[in-house]
Structure 1
């Protein structure tokens, strides 16, 4: 195991990054390389990310019942938040937890999730995730998304214990909402069978990451069952490290989908 993974806390982003490309995982989480936000040619990409961050902040303020800070000229955000108010009305009997973070010790590793919003009803957990990307998301792409797997698994494992509530698997739902395109959310239902499958998927992937040889010094600790580091060349044109890895320019127009874990 790489020494930098000894106290590493996994997330849906890091696990998805490894699935997309183990070499990309190395750049991001072992080498701690990040994009240069000062590049002029990246402006549209970063403006898209900023749009998402700003809207998430507006939603957080709304569900905390504090002023949203929306200016009257921001027509897009006003339109989006109006839709969210209809889709997720605030009710006195519910508990609303915006930007809610949970952690779990799973096997020999730590894993965390940060939810855009968790709504606790009577014996129910409803997870909400706001999507602001310009490309329309589809239901068929969401069921097996790493975000869905990690978020729903941790919702069942952690949230009932933290809040001292009883919640059956069938009463946990994950809602992806893209206000630019949809009136209603895309909802993923849960079950005990899905929960067990998700647990195995997470444990298996974390084990694979732990056994991957990211640096030469890792060979000292890994004698059997080691996994050689590979590069997923099919994903290179969608990767922010394409220039570093292959000497090719990054196509930022196609980068957004991978960032959101599709």
Structure 2
């Protein structure tokens, strides 16, 4: 497969984090275009976790599109039915506010190209916006990790920078934006992350710096592309058969790996 030109790419939180974790993995996935099917994970429990998470995201999208739960409970697993009931209790739909589920936002300005797909944007009558991100993994991420995660950085920054069309004033102040992570397995433990203009400035610098590093990397020569120095990242990587001729191992992921494992809608987050 021919190489893609980095200057043509749009970057997501997943792609930026992949580059920071392992430049070689970034090359395999986003430059060479080697995408593995969803079923490359062999562990049955992990595959089931992934399947249930995907189903929950689909049902959540339908709820906010239609304003009510219309899917028959007879054809949905009891666990996911319970998750959906908890979602309705946690963030009920109302006709006064605007709800945009599975909403894609893309931005291109002077070489800064970003995109994100939000699980839910909730725009309130008083012109504030809440980003909701659904997590369904078996453990609940710590707030300290989520504050510094690439997903948090990109999601809030991109909405502030490019989401003004959804605001009554034509733009969002950073203080108008809040990001909430919520896991239906832990319904009373949501993680709320407000935004400030100081955070916005720091996020912009960080995003631009990473993209600049990506553009300066010579992906044409494998020897110039740095592989991860973290052993577990390498052992569990889907590209291990290419790099080392050995199958990837099923090991328990670290907390920082969970955000990539759950970004199913961003498996191919770069477009042209």
Give the TM-score normalised by the residue count of structure 1. Answer: 0.87
Report what 1:161 is aligned to. Answer: 165
Matches of 2:197 and 2:105, distance apart in 1:
20
Report what 1:145 is aligned to. Answer: 149
Report what 2:48 is aligned to. Answer: 47
Deviation at 1:157, TM superposition (A): 1.3
Report what 2:82 is aligned to. Answer: 79
Q: Is 1:260 the equivalent of 2:259?
A: yes
Report what 2:227 is aligned to. Answer: 231
Report the CA distance shift for 1:255/1:34 in structure 2 as closer, same or farther (over 3 A): farther
Q: Is 1:69 the equivalent of 2:71?
A: yes
Asked if structure 2 preserves the Cα contact closer than 8 Å seen for 1:128 and 1:174, the reply is: yes
Gaps of 5+ in 1: 219-226
Q: Is 1:187 the equivalent of 2:192?
A: yes
Report what 2:268 is aligned to. Answer: none
Give CA deviations for 1:71-124 in whole Å, capped at 9, x if unaligned. Answer: 335211111111111211222221000001111114313210100000001121
Matches of 1:101 and 1:39, distance apart in 2:
26
Asked if structure 2 preserves the Cα contact closer than 8 Å seen for 1:83 and 1:183, the reply is: no
Give the TM-score normalised by the residue count of structure 2. Answer: 0.84
Matches of 1:39 and 1:147, distance apart in 2:
24
Matches of 1:134 and 1:184, distance apart in 2:
13
Report what 2:175 is aligned to. Answer: 170
Report what 1:97 is aligned to. Answer: 100
Deviation at 1:37, TM superposition (A): 5.0
Report the CA distance shift for 1:139/1:50 in structure 2 as closer, same or farther (over 3 A): same
Asked if structure 2 preserves the Cα contact closer than 8 Å seen for 1:98 and 1:116, the reply is: yes
Q: Is 1:249 the equivalent of 2:263?
A: no
Q: Is 1:240 the equivalent of 2:243?
A: no
Matches of 1:213 and 1:9, distance apart in 2:
18
Matches of 1:159 and 1:25, distance apart in 2:
27
Report the CA distance shift for 1:88/1:150 in structure 2 as closer, same or farther (over 3 A): same
Matches of 2:217 and 2:172, distance apart in 1:
37
Deviation at 1:140, TM superposition (A): 1.1
Q: How many residues align?
A: 252
* Structure 1 outlier segments of 4+, above 4 Å: 36-40
Matches of 1:167 and 1:61, distance apart in 2:
27
Deviation at 1:163, TM superposition (A): 4.3
SS in 1 for 2:148: coil
Deviation at 1:177, TM superposition (A): 0.3
Please say which of residues 37-46 and 184-193 is displaced more in the overlay. 37-46
